[in-house]
Amino acid sequence: MLQMTEVKAAQYESEKTFRSKLSDMTKTNGKAVETLQEKNRELEKKNRELSKQVIVLSKSKKSSSVLSNSQSNSQNNSPSLSS
């Protein structure tokens, strides 16, 4: 009977240690996930900002390209003053 009690006590201590380690790992992993999610949100925000800048720059580039084309076309179509 004494041996059975010792085995149960050892099993209880082993399970207690296991639960403690599992709890610690869960907390550690939870913190890591939070950190990664925060970093991901920051990167997504940066990505949105950069995407907006690309759109603005491409629009301004298109409009300046259209302006320069129209100016060069108007210069080509204008009558020449030199004879």
Domain contains 40: yes
Domain contains 71: no
Domain contains 19: no
* Measured CA angle at 36 (ends 32, 42), to 5 deg: 150
Report which of residues 74 and 83 the model is more confident about: 74
Domain contains 29: no
- Per the structure, the complete domain to which residue 49 belongs is given by 35-59
CA distance 12 to 3: 14
pTM beyond 0.85, yes or no: no
Domain contains 16: no
Domain contains 39: yes
Report pLDDT digits (tens) over 15-44: 999 999 999 999 999 999 999 999 999 999
Number of domains in the chain: 1
> What size, in residues, is the chain?
83
Q: How far is CA 22 from the centre of its chain?
A: 29
Looking up tokens 């207690």, which residue turns up? 16
Domain contains 15: no
Domain contains 48: yes
